[in-house]
Structure 1
Amino acid sequence: MNKTIIAVATTCLLTLSTGALADVSATVNVASDYTFNGVSQTGNDPALQGSLDYAADSGFYAGTWASNVDFGSGEDTNIEWDAYVGQYFQLNEKIGLDAGIAYYTYHGDSASDTYNYPEAYAKFGYSSSLGDSEVNFWYSWDYFGLDVNHYIAMIAHTVEVSPGHNIKVTFDRSTSADENKWAWDGKDAYNHYRVEYMTSWKSFDFDLAFENTTMDFDAADARVVLSVSHTFSF
């Protein structure tokens, strides 16, 4: 079984916006696959996801995010439900820092809660006339409930190709500090590559991505992922 999260949210696991649309917002997302760093969490099937977020003018934020998951036959875990809290700092006109902690929980099987684990993160953003760059780090000291240190490092760059149309290129590496407790395709680390096109139409956000990994199994093979989301502000 392969653990993933977006941040997400989006992504991600989790993908967190540094500019809140309102104090409280909710987002519904439909995706052709729920992938984390190129690994499907839904058995290559679609996902329905939702989040509820609070963001203060001070940069403090908190939220919760959920998605269906499918870890394969003999495993009845079907829901991932996460919570996160963090602080965004605008260091100067070009540089921002987002730091926080997330807790990932799993439901549906009698053993699902043994997978629960915490993760800390720090995300650095840099804006220039050439686009927006990111350097992001995630660290867990109890990855997937296995008492193993796990690290993710990511670099990404986004460019606006025309008003309302953006291309984002991402490279990240996931590493287990003890491959006897957790291994990626029999190894302690793997690389993930992703290129995505992002745009909006009316009140909907669209994301079309191609991604691949250095691992060789079905859930981590090359794929195209389409997602459509809508955010409600309160």
Structure 2
Amino acid sequence: MKKTLLSAVVGAVFTHCTLAHAVTLNDSLELIGSVGAFSEYSMRGISYTQRKPAVQATATLVHSSGLYAGVWSSNVDNEGIDARYEADYFAGFAHQFSDQVGLDVGYIKYTFPKGTILNAGEAYAVLSAYGFKLGSYYSNDYYGDQSFIYNYVGYGIKDLPYGLGLDFRYGVADYKDPSFFSSTGASKDSYREWEVKLSKNWLSLDWSASYVDTNLSETECLGFQGDKESCSARLVVGVSKSF
């Protein structure tokens, strides 16, 4: 099975995952997996562990046809809910038109045991072409009945000197209803986020360091996430082992 197909699957579902290896189960089926430790669980510019460390693991079955299904999990720390971990289930289809161009479509179900208000589902589509990525994720049941769309554009450079990789992402998350409130009482229903990530495989481990930031103020972040610094500029580092 082409490594470009496996990379597309992992990159579309969770952009912070890195593919190094895959386990061949038979001529048509392979297993991608990883476990890692990170300085925090950061997703779309916001910390879901309030800047505390996170342990994450994922496993994905990939068929040679492009169909795949898997599970991803991480500890979480969100103010006001009892959930201590997140378990996400996903399935989709990835197709490589060439080594440089691919399309991935699928669905993710986010679950938070004991924190069901956060349970949600997202449909997604990610187009990859010549190092660029255009992604769109849509849900109509965030926080019960809130619709939500997240769009991003990214670019990745591989095989830099010293075996480094460099990735850029700029995204916009847009909610149906106002969800962010400033100290003046003003509200908005969307925010912007961006990330610059350096990565390297060393000693058979995947190392990464990311600069992450959003345009949310401390007051807006405090009301939305329960921590005023979870949306601010910060460095997120991590190490993972893939198989």
Q: TM-score, normalised by structure 2?
A: 0.81
Task: Within 5 Å, give how 1:124-163 maps onto structure 2.
Answer: 124-127=127-130, 132-144=131-143, 146-160=144-158, 161-162=160-161
Please tell me the root mean square deviation across aligned C-alpha atoms, in Å: 2.3
Residues 231 and 28 of structure 1, relative CA distance in 2, 3 Å threshold: same
Out of 103, 110, 113, the position equivalent to 1:97 is 103
CA shift at 1:184, angstroms? Answer: 3.4
1:67: which partner in 2? Answer: 74
User: Residues of 1 paired with 2:100 and 2:32: CA distance?
Assistant: 26
Q: Is the 8 A contact 1:11 1:36 kept in 2?
A: no
Q: 1:220 is paired with a residue of what secondary structure?
A: coil
Matched residue type, 1:113: T
Matched residue type, 1:228: V
- Cα-to-partner distance string for 1:8-60 (whole Å, 9 max, x where unaligned): 98896565779972312321010001011111100110000111111111111
User: Residues of 1 paired with 2:216 and 2:198: CA distance?
Assistant: 24
Q: Is the 8 A contact 1:192 1:212 kept in 2?
A: yes
Confirm or deny that 1:106 pairs with 2:106: no
Out of 177, 180, 191, the position equivalent to 1:184 is 180
Out of 221, 225, 234, the position equivalent to 1:223 is 234
1:211: which partner in 2? Answer: 212
1:200: which partner in 2? Answer: 201
1:4: which partner in 2? Answer: none
Residues 19 and 60 of structure 1, relative CA distance in 2, 3 Å threshold: farther
Q: 1:219 is paired with a residue of what secondary structure?
A: coil
Q: How many residue pairs are counted as aligned between the two chains? A: 213
Runs of 4+ in 1 over 4 A off after TM superposition: 8-20
Task: Within 5 Å, give how 1:116-131 maps onto structure 2.
Answer: 116-127=119-130
Residues 121 and 16 of structure 1, relative CA distance in 2, 3 Å threshold: farther
Q: Is the 8 A contact 2:168 2:197 kept in 1?
A: yes
Q: Is the 8 A contact 1:102 1:118 kept in 2?
A: yes
Q: Is the 8 A contact 1:18 1:88 kept in 2?
A: no
CA shift at 1:91, angstroms? Answer: 2.1
Residues 192 and 151 of structure 1, relative CA distance in 2, 3 Å threshold: same
Q: Is the 8 A contact 1:20 1:55 kept in 2?
A: no
Gaps (5+ residues) in structure 2? 1-8, 24-29, 182-186, 219-228
Matched residue type, 2:68: Y
Q: 1:58 is paired with a residue of what secondary structure?
A: coil
Q: 2:230 is paired with a residue of what secondary structure?
A: helix
- Cα-to-partner distance string for 1:185-212 (whole Å, 9 max, x where unaligned): 4411110011110110132101100011
Task: Within 5 Å, give how 1:77-96 maps onto structure 2.
Answer: 77-96=83-102
Q: Identity, % of aligned pairs?
A: 27
